[in-house]
Structure 1
């Protein structure tokens, strides 16, 4: 029997339920939506979660298509899924948990007696570290970004190679291999010996079906390559970045980008121009280093010093 919260499935079965993580302000129980898929044969355990940030919906879009496609009779092993981690933020379509003004993916491994976010992190972390592999589905918030998978444990970590292999298997095409901030699930779970990745499925307001497609295929790549399903994943070389250059605007105005997401850029290439409202050029910004044009703001208007774009640097192929 495979159990997560109130969901419980015998071999060859699927079940959904709720994972209790506290109460709302009126005393109602809070239950995160969960699913368990118990394969007909023995095998590994995979843990997947989405909506750690309440306005990042592409991961949820992946799960609502992925779960109905998995046939437990064909599966070896188990899949534990938390569909919405940041319950409070999801309800109000905000990034951070409004109960404690906290970014959920900065408090792992959490605290079962702590703040709202720490309690949710603790409950989901317990599920994550019961698994053999962990996938934490994200996106680049509401900005515009390439589809990429992040390895956040750091290159000196004992689980780095296994995390990197999992990222390559997921197969977004791009990997950011850079140690992440403390409190990320993709930092905390490898410390417990669990290979973990953080796919950033583009960036969108609402759902981006192209990124959802990539996420669904990524999960099935993992199932095939790690022997949950028969067959093998079609794994191709990935473009890997180990650093970021971020660019702000030196003046206020409107942004015109000179390159597209995913383009290779060389040091000195023009990245964007700032004009005033009548089209007069105020600033031109060029790349400091060679890299890949990785992420941009969504809206064209900027104030002095406001974030505009990022370039992935230290590029190689893995």
Structure 2
């Protein structure tokens, strides 16, 4: 039998339950929704989590579709799922945990005696450490962004190649291969010998069906590639960026983009213009290097110096 919190599944069974991870202000327990799919045959373990950031809901859309479709009778191995990690931020519909003002994905591997975010990170990491592979489902918050998978362990890490393979198996089509900040699950997992990637499933307010579809397909691609499920999952070439340039606005006003998400750009190409309230040009920003138009702010109004867009650079195919 495999357990995760109150979820208990014998071979060939699926169960859902709750994982306690600290207490709320009234003393009642924080209880995260979890699922266990225990395959009828032996095999590896995949850990999947979503909503590490409280307003990034596409991952929740993925797990809500994947778990009902997983037939344990056809599965070799097991899948452990935490459907909503950042309990407090999710309830408040905010990005960060409003109780301790922490970003959950900067607190791994967590601390059993720490802040509310660190306690949740600790409990979920105990589950993640049981796995052979980890998928930490994210999105570009409420920005506009392409669908991509992030490899965050760094190119010199001993598991870099295995993390790249996992990203390629997931198959979003784009990979950002840059070492991430301390405290990310996609950093902590490889430090404990577990290939881990951070799929960033677009960006939206609420959730986006196209990005959720990418995520569902990605999870099943991984399950087939690593032998959890029968079927072919050929590794297809991915477009990889190993750099990330961010651009701010030279003036306050309204942004007008000159490129589409996913479009190739060359150094010197105009990325966006800024106009005043009445359409008069206030500034124009060009690309510093060749790359891919990767991410943009959603709303058009900007202050001088405010973030506008990002370009993935040092691009290759692998």
Query: TM-score range with shorter-chain normalisation?
Result: over 0.9
Partners of 1:22 and 1:310 lie apart in 2 by 37
- Name the structure 2 match of 1:50: 50
- Name the structure 1 match of 2:74: 74
Q: Which runs of 5+ in 2 are unaligned?
A: none
Partners of 2:119 and 2:49 lie apart in 1 by 16
- Name the structure 2 match of 1:125: 125
SS of the equivalent of 2:305 reads coil
Q: Under a length normalisation based on structure 2, what TM-score does the superposition of the two structures give?
A: 0.99
SS of the equivalent of 2:34 reads strand
Does residue 142 (structure 1) correspond to residue 133 (structure 2)? The answer is no
Cα drift, residue 193 of structure 1: 0.2
SS of the equivalent of 2:165 reads helix
Greater mean deviation of Cα atoms: 228-237 or 74-83: 228-237
Q: Which runs of 5+ in 1 are unaligned?
A: none
- Name the structure 2 match of 1:280: 280
Partners of 1:205 and 1:235 lie apart in 2 by 31
- Name the structure 2 match of 1:271: 271
Partners of 2:131 and 2:156 lie apart in 1 by 23
Can you list the C-alpha shifts for 1:11-46, whole angstroms capped at 9, x where unaligned? 000000000011111111111000000000000000
SS of the equivalent of 1:242 reads strand
Cα drift, residue 258 of structure 1: 0.4
- Name the structure 1 match of 2:93: 93
- Name the structure 2 match of 1:34: 34
**1:218-237 alignment runs, 5 A limit:** 218-237=218-237
- Name the structure 1 match of 2:299: 299
Does residue 114 (structure 1) correspond to residue 114 (structure 2)? The answer is yes
- Name the structure 1 match of 2:201: 201
- Name the structure 1 match of 2:186: 186
Aligned CA RMSD, in angstroms, stands at 0.5
The aligned length equals 318
Partners of 1:232 and 1:126 lie apart in 2 by 31
Cα drift, residue 235 of structure 1: 2.7
Q: Under a length normalisation based on structure 1, what TM-score does the superposition of the two structures give?
A: 0.99
- Name the structure 2 match of 1:250: 250
Partners of 2:270 and 2:99 lie apart in 1 by 43
Can you list the C-alpha shifts for 1:238-264, whole angstroms capped at 9, x where unaligned? 000001110000100000000000000
Partners of 1:250 and 1:282 lie apart in 2 by 8
Partners of 2:92 and 2:60 lie apart in 1 by 16
- Name the structure 1 match of 2:60: 60
Cα drift, residue 67 of structure 1: 0.5
Partners of 1:149 and 1:30 lie apart in 2 by 29
Partners of 2:157 and 2:232 lie apart in 1 by 27
Cα drift, residue 177 of structure 1: 0.3
SS of the equivalent of 1:203 reads coil
SS of the equivalent of 2:36 reads strand
Partners of 1:233 and 1:92 lie apart in 2 by 38
